[in-house]
Amino acid sequence: MAKVLNKASKQIGVTGPVLTIVMDGVGLAPATEANAVSLAYTPTLDMLMSKYPTVKLKAHGTAVGLPGDDDMGNSEVGHNALGSGQVFAQGAKLVSQSIENGKMFSSSTWQKVVSNVKANNSTLHFMGLFSDGNVHSHINHLKSMIDQAKKEGVSKVRLHILIDGRDVGETSALDYILPFEEYLNGLRDNSFDIKIASGGGRMVITMDRYEANWKMVELGWKTHVLGEGRQFNSAAEAVEAYRNELKVIDQDLPPFVIAENGVAVGTINDGDSVVFYNFRGDRAIEISKAFDDKKFTKFDRVRYPNVVYAGMLEYDGDLHIPSNYLVNPPEITNTMGEYLASTGISQLAISETQKYGHVTYFWNGNKSGKFDDNLETYIEIPSDVVPFEQRPWMKCAEITDKLIECLESGKYACLRVNFPNGDMVGHTGNILATRCSMEALDLQLKRLLEVVDKLHGVALITADHGNADEMYECDKKGMPKAGKDGSFKAKTSHTLNPVPFIIYDNYYSDKYEIKADNGQFGLSNVAATAVNFLGYEAPCMWDESVITLK
């Protein structure tokens, strides 16, 4: 049965396009020395916040399907909620539930992984982001799998750790490595050989996304699989050495290999099993392709071991990547894109490479491809492969150029765009670069709104989570915390702050009222609002619109 939107009995009568603008990583926070958004010169955003209806949206925790309200939101779950109009239990919660109820360890994939190494007297490898940031992974999930592997008689385990410093403190690596080594010491005995084998910063090796930089994945392959790279006695030694020599933060640490007597302790070989334990898909797909695809050609793997490879989840449900996974992903249904396509409404999605998958794959409920090739256009502006703080404007001008062309074409009734600046530059911890990124974005907002007005359209301006709004570690009141030397410590992770939802409309405001904002709204309320402006009622399973039609 086609999922068609019903015409609303009361019509706003918008004659132009309805444009949703996602200012990635731009949250609402006190105007302090930590807030790159408020510190930046942003006359357009300031005007919008003062003159137009603005609702605060929750963008973290249970409002986006995460386990608790101490869990920061992220772009993946944020775009799931924006695009589906609903809240679904997400990766971290799904994995935790599967471990707690035992389903993970009774799954055919887990049994396949374990039985393979026991039958071959080989090694079980775990690879993934090594922190409790709970955005891509959680260290407790890793511990649970290690404990279970020992319980089931696995004799040899090797760990390949991707250092975070992005979803957690920028120099917190040793806070995870040192206690984890103590944990391993407590497990290790004559029948259980377990060691950290390799690692490196998450923005240097392995965890590329959207095929922006396959060199990262190749470097990860050489490090984890082939055991090639600078050798150290321990992960802690590697982190300390690189910090002292290069003065880099954790996410930018070069790769390292743990060796004994000059020999890498954990290369990946025929007969081994490998579990990539990230639950979030975007930065797990490329390394999964390298392990899963026999005809892989993106780089020379040199040696392609015959292993049983499994992901924590199925990272791409349409392309079935990887072929083995431990936990079933959420089934996100009845999305906005599907309903608009079935109703015959033309759509455009655009961003640069870094967030292209968010306005397409994640927006559509973790679905690759389109619902209707004739009604949907997806445009990717290639991202620069340079450190974001060196070019903080990123591709916002080029995105805007193309988006204006599409708006003026008259082909699209409903458009969506993601500007990655506040998030990607915010993650660097560089507050000056992040201010610059916000100023560049503000210039593009001005350009877009002029065109929206010319076409008698409406713009819905929001964000998927906070980041640029809190560039230093802050106290509960949002004030930056000074260290013993009086300096502030950079914060590179997302924030728990709400995000703005601004309704930019200069023609139709007499046709509706904004509902009272009592803290009840989240990202999932945007979809219903958008279809109301398009002249339709929201499906019954979506969360309510923030407007009431008169």
**Catalytic positions, please?**
75
Instruction: Tally the residues of the chain.
Output: 550
Q: Which residues of 46-66 are buried (b: 16+ CB within 10 A; e: fewer)?
A: eebeeeebbbbbbbbbebbbb
| Alpha-carbon gap, residue 393 to 422, rounded angstroms | 10
Find tokens 């009222």 and name the residue: 513
Rg (Cα) of the chain, in Å, rounded?
24
Q: Which of 334, 367, 362, 332 is nearest to 540 (CA)?
A: 334
Cβ contact 92:134 at 8 Å: yes
Q: Which of 470, 525, 491 is nearest to 25 (CA)?
A: 470
Find tokens 């560049």 and name the residue: 440
| Alpha-carbon gap, residue 162 to 159, rounded angstroms | 10
| Alpha-carbon gap, residue 491 to 479, rounded angstroms | 13
As beta bridge partners, residue 159 has 126, 196
Residue 361: phi and psi, rounded to 5, are: -55, -55
Angle at 244 between CA 243 and CA 248, to 5 degrees: 35
CA 258 to chain CA mean position, Å: 29
**C-alpha distances in Å from residue 240, one per residue of 171, 246, 254, 262, 484:** 10, 10, 12, 20, 21
As beta bridge partners, residue 377 has 348
Residue type, 181: E
| Alpha-carbon gap, residue 339 to 540, rounded angstroms | 12
Find tokens 């990717």 and name the residue: 380
Cβ contact 384:391 at 8 Å: yes
As beta bridge partners, residue 275 has 126, 310
Q: Which of 387, 548, 349, 469 is nearest to 32 (CA)?
A: 469
| Alpha-carbon gap, residue 534 to 532, rounded angstroms | 5
CA 477 to chain CA mean position, Å: 26
| Alpha-carbon gap, residue 342 to 333, rounded angstroms | 14
Q: Which of 155, 149, 177, 180 is nearest to 256 (CA)?
A: 177
Tokens at 19, concatenated: 């444009």
**C-alpha distances in Å from residue 458, one per residue of 12, 224, 261, 450:** 11, 50, 66, 11
Tokens at 477, concatenated: 């009141």
Tell me 359's DSSP state. Answer: I
